[in-house]
Structure 1
Amino acid sequence: MHWTNVLTAAIVPLTGVRAAMLRFSCSQLVVDRLDPLVNPGQVPSPHLHQIVGGNSFNVTMDPNVNDISESSTCTSCQFTEDFSNYWTAVLFFKARNGTYKRVNTIGNGLGYSASNGGQTVYYISNGPVTAFKPGFRMVVGNPAFRTQAQARTNPALQFTCLASPMTRSGYRYDFPTDTCAGGIMVTVRFPTCWDGKNTDSPDHQSHVAYPVNRNCPSTHPIKIPEVFYETYWDTRPFNNKALWPADGSQPFVWSFGDKTGYGNHGDYIFGWKGDALQRAMDANCNSDLIQDRLNCPTLKSQSIVNANKCSIQRKVKEDLDGWLEELPGGGME
Structure 2
Amino acid sequence: MALAVVAGAVYFRAGDDAAVPAAEPVSALQSGVSGSSSDGSAGLGGTSASASASSPASASPSSAKAPAAVGGWVPVDPAAWKAQVDAYAALSPDPVPAGVGNLAEFRADCQYSHSAADDPIVFPGLPGASHMHSFVGNKATNAATTPSDLTKFTATTCKPVLDHSAYWVPTLYDAATNQPVETTGFRVYYRTRMNTSTGQLPMPNGLRMIAGDAKKSVPTPRGSQGQFYCAFYGPGDLDGIARSTNGNWPICGGDATLHFMLAFPDCWDGKNLDSPNHKDHVAFGANNTCPKTHPVKIPAVTFDIQYGAKGTTAGYYLSSDKQGASASSMHGDAFIMWDQTTMNKRTKNCLLQRRTCDDNGYQQ
Fold similarity call, TM over 0.5:
yes
Task: Please list every run of 5 or more consecutive structure 1 residues that lacks an aligned counterpart in the other structure.
Answer: 1-16, 108-118, 150-154, 245-250, 298-333
One-letter code of the match for 2:358? D
Structure 2 CA distance, aligned partners of 1:147 and 1:279?
Answer: 42
Question: Aligned to 1:270, which of 336, 348, 354?
Answer: 336
Is 2:230 aligned against 1:161? yes
Q: CA deviation at 1:235?
A: 1.8
Q: CA deviation at 1:295?
A: 3.7
One-letter code of the match for 1:25? D
Superposed CA deviations along residues 153-179 of structure 1, whole A, max 9, x for unmatched, are xx7x552123x344587479x943444
Is 2:180 aligned against 1:75? no
Superposed CA deviations along residues 34-56 of structure 1, whole A, max 9, x for unmatched, are 11111112221331111111233
Corresponding residue of 2:111 = 27
Corresponding residue of 1:131 = 202
Q: More helix per residue: 1 or 2?
A: 2
Structure 2 CA distance, aligned partners of 1:166 and 1:200?
Answer: 39
1:177-256 matches, cutoff 5 A: 177-181=250-254, 182-236=256-310, 239=312, 241=313, 244=314, 251-256=315-320
Q: CA deviation at 1:100?
A: 1.1
Structure 1 CA distance, aligned partners of 2:248 and 2:341?
Answer: 39
Q: SS at 1:83's partner residue?
A: coil
8 A Cα contact 1:56 1:71, kept in partner: no
Corresponding residue of 1:321 = none
Is 2:42 aligned against 1:42? no
Structure 2 CA distance, aligned partners of 1:71 and 1:183?
Answer: 36
8 A Cα contact 2:127 2:144, kept in partner: no
* Distance of aligned partners of 1:271 and 1:171 in 2 relative to their CA distance in 1, 3 Å threshold: farther
Superposed CA deviations along residues 124-145 of structure 1, whole A, max 9, x for unmatched, are 1251422222221110111111
8 A Cα contact 1:158 1:187, kept in partner: no
Superposed CA deviations along residues 7-51 of structure 1, whole A, max 9, x for unmatched, are xxxxxxxxxx96531133111121222111111122213311111
1:42-121 matches, cutoff 5 A: 42-63=126-147, 66-68=148-150, 70-95=151-176, 99-107=177-185, 119-121=186-188
Q: SS at 1:203's partner residue?
A: coil
One-letter code of the match for 1:143? A
8 A Cα contact 1:158 1:188, kept in partner: no
Q: SS at 1:47's partner residue?
A: coil
Q: SS at 1:276's partner residue?
A: helix
Corresponding residue of 1:144 = 215
Q: SS at 1:100's partner residue?
A: coil
8 A Cα contact 2:102 2:356, kept in partner: no
Superposition CA RMSD, Å: 2.9
8 A Cα contact 1:160 1:168, kept in partner: no
Superposed CA deviations along residues 236-255 of structure 1, whole A, max 9, x for unmatched, are 3x54x4xx3xxxxxx21101
* Distance of aligned partners of 1:191 and 1:169 in 2 relative to their CA distance in 1, 3 Å threshold: farther
Structure 2 CA distance, aligned partners of 1:101 and 1:215?
Answer: 44
Is 2:353 aligned against 1:287? no
* Distance of aligned partners of 1:46 and 1:67 in 2 relative to their CA distance in 1, 3 Å threshold: closer
Q: CA deviation at 1:269?
A: 0.3
TM-score of the superposed pair, with normalisation by structure 2? 0.60
* Distance of aligned partners of 1:137 and 1:78 in 2 relative to their CA distance in 1, 3 Å threshold: same
8 A Cα contact 2:118 2:126, kept in partner: yes
Structure 2 CA distance, aligned partners of 1:268 and 1:55?
Answer: 14
One-letter code of the match for 2:249? P
* Distance of aligned partners of 1:200 and 1:52 in 2 relative to their CA distance in 1, 3 Å threshold: same
Corresponding residue of 2:49 = none
Structure 1 CA distance, aligned partners of 2:281 and 2:138?
Answer: 24
* Distance of aligned partners of 1:160 and 1:57 in 2 relative to their CA distance in 1, 3 Å threshold: same
Structure 2 CA distance, aligned partners of 1:270 and 1:104?
Answer: 22
Task: Please list every run of 5 or more consecutive structure 2 residues that lacks an aligned counterpart in the other structure.
Answer: 1-100, 241-246
One-letter code of the match for 1:71? K
Larger Rg: 2
Q: SS at 1:87's partner residue?
A: strand
One-letter code of the match for 2:179? K
Corresponding residue of 1:122 = 189
Q: SS at 2:275's partner residue?
A: coil
